[in-house]
Structure 1
């Protein structure tokens, strides 16, 4: 039985199967928890509580495992893109030089 890739680890980017998103499951590559807000398709730093799901309860630490009923794995690593945001800012600043 093969498991297909359901998403990526929020911390190291390694591919995770649907079975690797349990409440106490950790990424085998980096040891970080996998069922966290930063690994969820609803996570968005631009929204209130950093979540696009309005019914979700507030979670303080987005990198700790939680029991959110709305959790859905994602391969879109928004948290990893924060570093790329610096590149976008630099490009914008370069426009005005």
Structure 2
């Protein structure tokens, strides 16, 4: 029997299966909740309310479990993180090459 990986934990990057995204489920590796905005495919720090789903209700704490009807596990939730200062500096320097 093969386990199908649905996504990864937003905190530690541990692989999660579809049944590990329950309302009260936590990551077995780091103990953080899994059904959170930061673990959703719609999460985007650059958008209004940090969500690309326009009908979703605003959630204040993106790292706490919630009841959002639009939640879908993200394949790589850490890819949506805002770039660090080094990335900003490199991008600025690349403009003047």
Structure-1-length-normalised TM-score: 0.87
1:21 aligns with 2:57: no
Offset at residue 78 of structure 1 (A): 4.1
Please list every run of 5 or more consecutive structure 1 residues that lacks an aligned counterpart in the other structure.
none
| Alignment size in residue pairs | 96
Offset at residue 93 of structure 1 (A): 4.0
Q: CA RMSD in A?
A: 1.9
CA contact (8 A) 2:6 2:75 kept: yes
Flag the 1:78–1:46 CA change in 2: closer, same or farther, 3 A.
farther
2:71 is matched with 71
Offset at residue 87 of structure 1 (A): 3.3
Structure-2-length-normalised TM-score: 0.87
